[in-house]
Amino acid sequence: MTLNLRPVSEAEWPDWIMVDEEAYATPIPPHRNDLYRGTAELDRSLGVFDGDLLVGTAAVCSFTMTVPGGPIPVAGVTAISVLPSHRRRGILSSLMTRQLSDLHEKGEAVAALYASEAAIYGRFGYGRATDSLTFRIPTASAAFAPHAPVDPALRLRIARPAEERPLLEKIFDAVLERRPGMYARTPARWNMVLTDHSADQHGAGPLRAVVVEDGSGPRGYALFRIRPGFDDHDIPNGELRVRELFALDPAAYALLWRHLLDRDLVSHVTAGGRPSDDPLIHLLAEPRRLGALWSDELWVRVVDVERALPARRYAAPVDVVIEVEDTLCPWNARRWRLTAGPSGAVCIPTGDPADLTLPVSALGAAYLGGRGLMPLSAAGVVRESREGAARELSAAMRWDPAPWAGLLF
């Protein structure tokens, strides 16, 4: 039977959930279904149908995401799935190719996603752009370094997360534009962050919050759960699981972590998906106690080179001709002169000889400023025609702090 690719209707939402559950082998509880529907943009969805049967899905969330220099519109790609019964039939390729074409027609220059499997999305021009760390910290060994900041004007307050939502949103919005990769949260997205259904607790109890304040108002917050427990010798071995932690200044940040690492009856604090340059690395006297595990986070796709490269800022001046290889987006596959610096950038087509040649995935990897081009050059992914061109472009595109999204979409 002929496969048909088209947008998905509201009436087909239950079928969408079925495909998602089957493809990811993860049941979606009813309350999560409702939350998920609140963030889904069905007008930006695509489905592949085998007759009346939905067998593949792809969707976009419309985000405002921070990039080096400020916020821009970014397409958050999500819900990429194919029924196991319909693999190896080109369904994924048709969805990804159609989606890129739709994004280009809509004028969105950049797309980003979380990859369920890292091997998949490089084929479609996505580059690994951000990293994250997972910490497992024994509280008995979590002494702070002498230089850790202390502000005696700060105070802690235990809070109920749902009741403090306006305060949490205010703090989050204040830090949003500081770090590339972070994206603005809609009310529906906040609903997902603060959900406290028993199915979300995984044995770790209700969602908790602590707020740090001074005389001028709130300075930061942490959301967390605690799984209580005792070992065979009746010694407390509870686990505190950090949901998220944001602060407006170093002293508030340090105080929040001191509090979490000093909770009674807790032997370990775990925190998944932390930024790769998390300041906590430099706050502990013995950073090896973080037990840090590295993972990839956001993957970024430059959908339109001509629009994407001038949309961000650059840390150093650069004037370079880039030959971009892109088989899925032919409008990108040519030579471009990028003239850029801290005050702005221009990117125009050119017939001049290329200084370096790279696949569009390499531009995506470097776009948020966290991935240098020199390792890609050493691996043969980026090829120089003019010596030093890769280093110049890499230095211009790097940015501090390291990019990080912090919340799966």
The single-letter DSSP state of residue 88 is: T
Residue 90 assigned ligand-binding role: yes
What would you measure as the largest C-alpha separation in the chain, in angstroms? Answer: 75
Paired sense of beta strands 383-384 and 335-341, if any: unpaired
Instruction: Give the CA-trace dihedral at 119, 371, 355, 325, to 10 degrees.
Output: 20
Closest-CA residue to 142 (of 310, 302, 260): 260
Of residues 36, 63, 114, 121, which has the active-site annotation? 121
Is 81 annotated to bind a ligand? Reply is: yes
Q: Which residues contact 310 (CB under 8 A, 6 or more apart)?
A: 340, 344, 345, 346, 347
The answer to whether 80 is annotated as binding is: yes
| DSSP-derived secondary structure letter, 236 | B
> Is 297 within any annotated ligand binding site?
no
Is 88 among the annotated ligand-binding positions? yes
| Residues in Cβ contact with 137 at an 8 Å cutoff, skipping those fewer than 6 apart | 261, 268, 269, 270, 271, 284, 289, 290, 291
Peptide bond into 218 cis (omega under 30): no
- Tell whether 82 is in a known binding site: yes
Whole-number Å distance between alpha carbons of 143 and 255: 13
Is 98 part of any known ligand binding site? no
121 is catalytic: yes
For tokens 């932390």, the residue is 274
Q: Is 92 annotated as a binding residue?
A: yes
Measured CA to CA, the distance from residue 404 to residue 209 in angstroms comes to: 22
Q: Is 409 designated active site?
A: yes
Of 57, 59, 49, 47, nearest to 4 by C-alpha is 49
First to last CA, the chain: 33
For residue 129 the two structure tokens come to 């752009």
Rounded Cα gap, residues 167 and 244, in angstroms: 14
Residue the block writes with tokens 């489905």: 47
Q: What amino acid positions are annotated as catalytic residues?
A: 121, 409
- Which residues are annotated binding-site positions? 80-82, 88-93, 116-117
- Which residues are annotated binding-site positions for acetyl-CoA? 80-82, 88-93, 116-117
